[in-house]
Amino acid sequence: MVLASDYLKGSQIVVIGAGAVGAALTYRLAQAGARVTAVERLYPGSGTTSKSFAWLNGFNKPPKHYHRLNVMSVRDHLDLADELDGDWVHIQGGLHWEHAARKDSLGTLRSKVKRLRDWGFRVDETTPEAAMRELEPDLWIDPEKVPEVYYCPREGTLDPVPMVHGALRAAVVRYGATYENGNVVQFLGRPGEVAGVTLEDGRQIAADLVINAAGPQSDSVAELAGVKISIDHTLGFTLVTPPAPVCIKAVIHSPEVTIRPDGGGRLMLRHEEVDGHLVDDQPLPSNSPVVQEVMERARIVVPNLKRIPAESIRTGVRPMPKDGKTIVGFEPEVSGLYTVVTHSGVTLSARLALLITEELTGGDVAELEPYRPGRFAQQ
């Protein structure tokens, strides 16, 4: 898909951040004719992208317009991978269940499923026995505790760093984009205007537009222009096993633990309750009781993980807009500065790249209107 535009042709755009969002956006803008420079302070995909659980989904993304944005982005990821000959998208479904004894949690799950079906999203219901027999034989779903299992065939996972590399490489090789390693420390331009960036080593890059896609650093970048972005920083924790004698294809959402395949026979594990034990800049050791608890939880659901240790521990900082929804659009108080920051960056990156490019080519982007930066000033 090429969104060519006379406006973009020859225009200089700097994208700050080469995570999932920044890389996909760099590719689409360069494809549309802009002269794009992606700037990353470490290496492509090094930040939150590389620590993400990378679940592609629209499962718990109300309201309806936000759900649809996520669902459409899953399809856009498939298109992007096909376009770039990539093999980083895996749509192999998602399984969700709860214990009957956890009445509130089971009721919440059933309400989510009803809402999704009302919105036209496919969710199949099956039994624990059928799920283990037909979908995931290496799982244990206790039929005496679990009344039903829900299966979403259009959920999946992404290998985000290969996606970042593929998008940036294509932007550079096919469309002449450039990549710069550096830390943005200042904006060029007069007060109230952004006309480029200055890097920590003194290099300057002029631009007609600067896009702030710096993830957890987006608020710090915005402050350089006197702009406040309404985000919090939350810590996320995942464990990765060594290659294990287990075959799991789908994303598993159980009361004990959430599981996804991570390639090469490895599994990635997480549980949201563990995030509350994290302290910034203090990584958990592999012998931590928290790590051992997650592994024990996983062994309940996947018995063949017995005696399998945690191989690596990933802790990432996630940008969370104050209202939980994406922030995307021109900053109303500073010309030449565009913000895109979201908690669902991996899922939404493919869709946002298309929509932002369409906006900059003068197209209709009604899908983005609920997520403009100015909404916080109205509160």
DSSP 312-339: EEEEEEEEEETTSS-EEEE-TTSBTEEE
- Mean pLDDT score of the chain, rounded to an integer? 94
When computed from its CA atoms, the radius of gyration of the chain, rounded to whole angstroms, is 21
Please report the pLDDT score of residue 7 as a whole number. 62
CATH 3.30.9.10 fits 91-155+234-318, yes or no: yes
Judge if pTM exceeds 0.85. yes
Identify which has the larger pLDDT, 349 or 364. Answer: 349
Per-residue pLDDT tens digits for 54-81: 999 999 999 999 999 999 999 999 999 9
Ramachandran angles phi, psi of 49, nearest 5°: -55, -45
**Residue 71 CB neighbours (<10 A):** 23
Please report the pLDDT score of residue 4 as a whole number. 42
d(CA 220, CA 214): 9
Task: Give per-residue burial for 26-65: e unless 16+ CB within 10 Å, then b.
Answer: bbbbbbbbbbbbbbbbeebbebbbbbbbbbbbbbebeeee
Per-residue pLDDT tens digits for 29-51: 999 999 999 999 999 999 999 99
Q: Is the pLDDT at 2 greater than 50, yes or no?
A: no
Q: At what angle do helices 64-83 and 345-360 cross, to 10 degrees?
A: 80
Per-residue pLDDT tens digits for 166-204: 999 999 999 999 999 999 999 999 999 999 999 999 999
CATH number of 12-84+159-230+322-375: 3.50.50.60
Q: Is the pLDDT at 6 greater than 60, yes or no?
A: no
Q: Where are the domains of the chain?
A: 12-84+159-230+322-375, 91-155+234-318
Q: Are residues 259 and 267 in contact, defined by beta-carbon separation less than 8 angstroms? A: yes
d(CA 228, CA 9): 31
